[in-house]
């Protein structure tokens, strides 16, 4: 019962942190000037916590976390939390989301170039862009145990993703209160790594997925926490950082042909990829908007719309890519919407997916087309109506 109450409490803290943001930044809301005021208000919010489904919090809080929040807000927590929440506008996480084989490695330099092209119009200062955000990786995946030790987590036990101490440590390390806009770009695929991966994931790739249906994978506890628990991430970090998802959608056959030898072959690999596609679509449908600012939290990038092979004229390629860049900058709230060199490191894939997959035999290819037909019910996720670069094909 104590653990259950702690779980409810942590869920309430994560979800209602956004409400505190408005309480501190809008004059028509109450001001919390003392620890007692803040603690009292947090306890009032618990009356609503009964409506939170505890199953949505997959990582159970550690004893350290439960004792940290039990009955009171620590004296140092009030000032730190308040300053970090006020700094939210200068702390942004952009997660390139997609299944394995969706072209993360190719697209990441494009987004990096666009981010590094940004200048804060008010202060004329360039954005601080981190494409290898180690503190965030430590928080999301449980990597970089040395950082966890520096933050006071001893004994080799990785804290849960929504541990308040861990969240605050990640944000403090990633977004210092220096007046600059800090952008972290993260891009682990779904799934990630291998079963015996040496990186310290909280949940590694599971061998049992090879014998499961896509529906079973999508609803399994392990898959929903691999490579990280996205729901817990959004709930715990949203009060402190603006979180945006750039969803990569690549044609299905090309996606499977990217790693046809994985998961014992293309058919089983297809089951795993479809399982995670189902899981991601469910997540996106449940997180359309940012819980704090109300803006759309995700957008889609159709990988085939970037590729030159889709067009007959060079001018059409340049125009399509320029439109994609402008739309991305607008979605992310970035001021500079032109980036002539964003695609300098982009290279179209030269693989012929049917040639690659055909090596496994015609029956396999036909079965994959069947898989693709079933997947069209949920993937790709819908783009903005009327924007042709957002209309992805399966």
Q: What is the pLDDT of residues 233-259, one digit of tens each?
A: 999 999 999 999 999 999 999 999 999
Lowest-confidence range among 35-49, 163-177, 229-243? 35-49
324 domain-assigned: yes
Note the helical H segments in the chain.
2-25, 35-45, 63-69, 75-86, 104-116, 134-141, 145-150, 164-174, 214-218, 230-237, 252-258, 266-286, 303-306, 314-332, 353-358, 362-375
Burial tier of 171 (Cβ tally within 10 Å: 0-12, 13-18, 19+): buried
Q: What is the pLDDT of residues 84-103, one digit of tens each?
A: 788 999 999 999 999 999 99
Lowest-confidence range among 24-38, 117-131, 177-191, 343-357? 24-38
9 domain-assigned: no
Residue 2 pLDDT level (bands cut at 50, 70, 90): very low
User: Percent of the chain having pLDDT more than 90?
Assistant: 70
Nearest Cα to Cα of residue 97 among 236, 24, 192, 161? 192
5 domain-assigned: no
Place of tokens 């009955």: 71
Q: How far, in Å, are 89, 120, 124 from residue 15 at the CA level?
A: 18, 29, 34
- Contact at 8 Å (CB) between 306 and 221? no
17 domain-assigned: no
Residue 149 backbone phi and psi in degrees, to 5:
-65, -40
d(CA 8, CA 54): 7
157 domain-assigned: yes
1 domain-assigned: no
**How do 125-126 and 119-120 pair as beta strands?**
antiparallel
Nearest Cα to Cα of residue 296 among 278, 311, 283, 284? 284
The domain spanning residue 158 has which CATH number? 3.40.50
Residue 173, domain extent: 87-390
Give the CB-side neighbour count of residue 277, counting CA atoms within 13 A: 29
- Contact at 8 Å (CB) between 319 and 326? no
Domain count, the chain: 1
190 domain-assigned: yes
353 domain-assigned: yes
């Amino acid at each position: 019962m104590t653990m259950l109450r702690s779980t409810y409490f942590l869920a309430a803290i994560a979800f209602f942190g956004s409400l505190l943001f408005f309480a501190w930044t809008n004059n028509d809301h109450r001001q919390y000037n003392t620890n007692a005021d803040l603690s009292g208000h947090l306890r009032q919010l618990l009356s609503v916590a009964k409506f939170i489904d505890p199953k949505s919090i997959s990582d159970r809080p550690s004893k350290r976390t439960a004792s940290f929040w039990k009955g009171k807000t620590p004296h140092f927590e009030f000032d730190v939390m308040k300053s970090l929440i006020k700094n939210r506008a200068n702390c942004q996480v952009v997660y390139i989301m997609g299944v394995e084989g969706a072209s993360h490695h190719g697209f990441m330099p494009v987004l990096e170039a666009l981010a590094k092209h940004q200048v804060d119009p008010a202060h004329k200062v360039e954005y601080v862009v981190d494409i290898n955000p180690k503190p965030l990786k430590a928080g999301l995946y449980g990597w970089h145990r040395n950082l966890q030790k520096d933050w006071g987590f001893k004994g080799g036990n990785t804290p849960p993703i929504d541990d308040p101490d861990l969240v605050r440590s990640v944000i403090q390390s990633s977004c210092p209160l220096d007046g600059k806009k800090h952008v972290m770009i993260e891009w682990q695929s779904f799934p990630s790594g291998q079963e015996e991966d040496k990186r310290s994931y909280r949940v590694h790739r599971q061998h049992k997925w090879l014998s499961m249906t896509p529906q079973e994978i999508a609803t399994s506890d392990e898959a929903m926490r691999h490579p990280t628990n996205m729901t817990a991430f959004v709930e715990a970090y949203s009060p402190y950082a603006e979180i945006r998802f750039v969803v990569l959608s690549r044609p299905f056959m090309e996606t499977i042909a990217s790693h046809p030898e994985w998961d014992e072959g293309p058919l089983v690999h297809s089951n795993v990829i479809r399982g995670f596609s189902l899981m991601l679509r469910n997540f996106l449908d449940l997180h359309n908007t940012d819980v704090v600012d109300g803006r759309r939290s995700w957008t889609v990038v159709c990988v085939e719309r970037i590729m030159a092979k889709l067009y007959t004229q060079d001018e059409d390629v340049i125009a399509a890519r320029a439109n994609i860049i402008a739309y991305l900058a607008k979605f992310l709230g970035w001021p500079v919407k032109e980036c002539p060199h964003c695609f300098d490191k982009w290279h179209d894939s030269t693989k012929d997916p049917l040639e690659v997959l055909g090596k496994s035999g015609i029956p396999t290819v036909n079965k994959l087309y069947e898989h693709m037909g079933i997947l069209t019910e949920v993937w790709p996720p819908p783009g903005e109506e009327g924007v042709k670069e957002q209309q992805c094909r399966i």
